């Protein structure tokens, strides 16, 4: 893959992750194994900055799948509702400090929201 494209993909994935309502501990758990949609939308979930409905959690997961940060886990029956980090996701999370996700700027949040709304992930 072209180095410029690879860097662009890493920046896009990093911005999407930092704009998401997922805590650093969620990304740490995703490095170790899979996390289910139910774990993300549990009322007392340690993985999110705010309570998420199942639809909101699903939307967040779908966006992070699109930008290449996450992938669905597969079992003997096919796709599951569990996700884990991709190699790109591991690279992004490895670049962060251990204690927390770096905050996203207002400009990054705006750009990420606009891209999500328009369906642009490149």
Q: What angle do CA 38, 49, 15 make, to 5 degrees?
A: 100
What is the reported pTM? 0.87
CA gap 49, 23 in Å, rounded: 6
Is residue 74 scored above 80 in pLDDT? yes
Beta strands in the chain (DSSP E): 35-36, 70-75, 78-85
What angle, rounded to 10 degrees, do the helices at 87-94 and 3-19 form?
A: 70
**Chain segment 104-121, per-residue pLDDT in tens:** 999 999 999 898 888 776
Contact status, residue 62 vs residue 86, Cβ threshold 8 Å: no
CA gap 17, 37 in Å, rounded: 16
Per-residue model confidence (pLDDT) at position 122: 58
**Chain segment 25-45, per-residue pLDDT in tens:** 999 999 999 999 999 999 899
Domains of the chain are 1-121 (1.10.10.10)
Q: What is the mean pLDDT of the chain?
A: 90
């Amino acid at each position: 893959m072209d180095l410029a494209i690879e860097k662009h993909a890493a920046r896009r994935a990093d911005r999407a992750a930092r704009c998401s309502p997922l805590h650093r501990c969620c990304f740490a758990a995703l490095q170790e194994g899979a996390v289910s949609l139910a774990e993300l939308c549990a009322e007392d979930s340690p993985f999110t900055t705010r309570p998420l409905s199942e639809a909101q959690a699903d939307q967040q997961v779908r966006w992070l799948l699109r930008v290449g940060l996450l992938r669905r886990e597969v079992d003997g029956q096919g796709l599951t509702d569990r996700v884990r980090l991709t190699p790109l996701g591991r690279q992004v999370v490895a670049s962060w400090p251990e204690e927390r996700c770096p905050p996203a700027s207002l400009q990054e949040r705006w750009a990420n929201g606009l891209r999500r709304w328009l369906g642009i992930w490149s």
